[in-house]
Amino acid sequence: MTCDEAIKLMDGYLDGELDPITSQAIEQHLRECGRCDQAYKTQGSLIRAIGNATPYFKAPAELRERIQSSLRKETTGQPVRNGVRGAQVQFHKRQPEPRSILSEIPWNWLGLAAAIILAAVIVLNVVPRLQRPGADQFLATQLIASHVRSLMANHLTDVASSDQHTVKPWLDTKLDFAAPVLDLSGDGFPLVGGRLDYLDNHSAAALVYQRRKHFINLFIWPTTPGDSKAQTMVARQGYHLLHWSDGDFTYWAVSDVALSDLQNFKQLFEQTTARR
């Protein structure tokens, strides 16, 4: 089963309308495909949320009175002037207990209509945002993944040195740009080394700094016209990401240090590169 097929069959599956073989094929696909699995989960929780929030209105007593009096008039053969006429009234005339049913049915349909409109609004507005994360969100995910990988896989640096005069030439020979490499050990952010990375479809320099027992990955690549110039802060999964740009380069600092430490680091880096 392809992703397209799985997405097309989503409504039928979540409503339990599919045959067992198709359902099994979908479940198999969901085990293998994280994206579709996520889409199904999102849609499923939406359906549950809407089910729980379906409004239920009771008809006002005055309306009940009007319907009942018009019904009485009809059954006694009197002409109806201001009564509520229509399919429901005709239908319920034949019911044994018109009172309770009449007082609830039209308003339940209104509630259902409201729920359907609510569902449509949510699906149109919320789901696309969940399923198609913005470029920044996607980049943030890549940056965190790279930071975590560098700590987990014993691949913090390609060149391990606290000396910027060792790290910079090494990076310069591997990359087609000359990233600024600073020594900030005097300010409590010793340089640990450098690494090559590939992010957002281009090569990047990753400088690794230490803050007490924590590491900061600073990703640098030349600013391209599509890059955002805005300074950004993203907090996610216990990590902070700070983004800034100096015209030549785009910077993303990622770490689990306190936000104030990371902001301090960014400010030091920014000021020192600006002085050069």
Residues interacting with Zn ion, by CB under 5 A? 3, 33, 36
CB of 20 to Zn ion, least distance (A): 20
Select 3 or 49, whichever has its Cβ closest to Zn ion: 3
- Nearer to Zn ion by Cβ, of 36 and 181: the residue is 36
| Strands, E assignment, the chain | 159-160, 191-199, 202-211, 214-222, 232-236, 239-245, 249-255
Q: Which is nearer to Zn ion, 40 or 221 (CB)?
A: 40
The minimum distance between CB 37 and Zn ion, in angstroms, equals 8
Least distance in Å: CB of 4 to Zn ion?
8
For Zn ion, the closer CB: 29 or 240: 29
Closer of 10 and 110 to Zn ion (Cβ): 10
Shortest Cβ 6–Zn ion spacing (Å): 5
Q: Are 103 and 59 in contact (CB under 8 A)?
A: yes
Nearer to Zn ion, 31 or 165 (CB): 31
In the sheet that holds 232-236, the strands lie side by side as 159-160, 191-199, 202-211, 214-222, 249-255, 239-245, 232-236
d(CA 244, CA 223): 10
Q: Which residue, 37 or 227, has its beta carbon nearer to Zn ion?
A: 37
For residues 202 and 186, is the Cβ–Cβ distance under 8 A?
no
Q: What is the CA radius of gyration of the chain?
A: 31
Least Å distance, CB 9 to Zn ion, is 11
Of 36 and 156, which has the nearer Cβ to Zn ion? 36
Q: What does the block give as tokens for 238?
A: 């216990």
Axis crossing angle, helix 61-75 with helix 98-131, rounded to the nearest 10 = 130
In DSSP terms, 232 is beta-bridged to: 243
Using CB atoms within 10 Å of the CB of residue 216, give its burial: 0 to 12 exposed, 13 to 18 middle, 19+ buried. buried
**Minimal distance, residue 43 CB to Zn ion, in Å:** 13
The sign of the dihedral angle between the CA atoms of 43, 47, 52, 54 is: positive
Provide the minimum distance between the beta carbon of 178 and Zn ion in the complex, in angstroms, as a whole number: 42
CA distances from 203 to 91, 161, 174, 178 (A): 72, 21, 10, 12
Q: How far is CA 76 from the centre of its chain?
A: 62
**Closest CB 180 distance from Zn ion, rounded Å:** 42
